[in-house]
Amino acid sequence: MTIPVELLQRLAGAKSVTVLTGAGVSAESGVPTFRDALTGLWAKFSPEELATPDAFRRNPRLVWEWYQWRRKLVAGAEPNPAHLALAELATLFPRFHLITQNVDGLHQRAGSWNVIELHGNITRTKCSDEGTIVSAWKDTGNVPPKCPACGALLRPDVVWFGEPMPAPEMRQAMTASTHCDFFFSIGTSTVVYPAAALPSEALRSGATVVEINPQPTPFTPQAHFALAGVAGVVLPELVKALKACRRA
Q: Which are the catalytic amino acids? A: 119
Return the residue of 116, 230, 239, 241 that touches ligand APR, per CB under 6 A: 230
Return the residue of 37, 231, 239, 241 that touches ligand APR, per CB under 6 A: 231
For the bound state, the minimum distance from the C-beta of residue 2 to ligand APR, rounded and expressed in Å, comes to 17
Other beta carbons within 10 angstroms of residue 225's beta carbon come to 16
Give the count of alpha carbons within 13 A of 136, CB side only. Answer: 0
For the CA atoms of 147, 149, 152, 156, the dihedral, rounded to the nearest 10 degrees, stands at -40
Pairing of strands 208-212, 95-100: unpaired
For the CA atoms of 202, 209, 198, 172, the dihedral, rounded to the nearest 10 degrees, stands at -70
Told to check if 53 binds ligand APR by CB under 6 A, we report no
Told to check if 27 binds ligand APR by CB under 6 A, we report yes
Distance CA 133, CA 157 (A): 8
For the bound state, the minimum distance from the C-beta of residue 142 to ligand APR, rounded and expressed in Å, comes to 27
Distance CA 235, CA 80 (A): 11
For the bound state, the minimum distance from the C-beta of residue 72 to ligand APR, rounded and expressed in Å, comes to 19
CA 231 to chain centre: 13
Return the residue of 3, 14, 23, 98 that touches ligand APR, per CB under 6 A: 23
For the bound state, the minimum distance from the C-beta of residue 159 to ligand APR, rounded and expressed in Å, comes to 7
Return the residue of 135, 215, 221, 248 that touches ligand APR, per CB under 6 A: 215
Applying CB under 6 A, what is the total number of residues that bind ligand APR?
A: 22
Q: Select the span of 132-140, 170-178, 185-193, 236-244 touching ligand APR (CB under 6 A).
A: 185-193
Return the residue of 28, 104, 201, 211 that touches ligand APR, per CB under 6 A: 28
Other beta carbons within 10 angstroms of residue 192's beta carbon come to 14
Return the residue of 34, 42, 45, 225 that touches ligand APR, per CB under 6 A: 34
35 versus 44: smaller Cβ distance to ligand APR: 35
Whether the ω angle into residue 214 lies within 30 degrees of 0, i.e. cis, is no
Angle (CA) 24 166 117, round 5°:
35
Interaction site with ligand APR (CB under 6 A): 22-24, 27-28, 33-35, 101, 119, 187-189, 192, 212-215, 217, 230-232
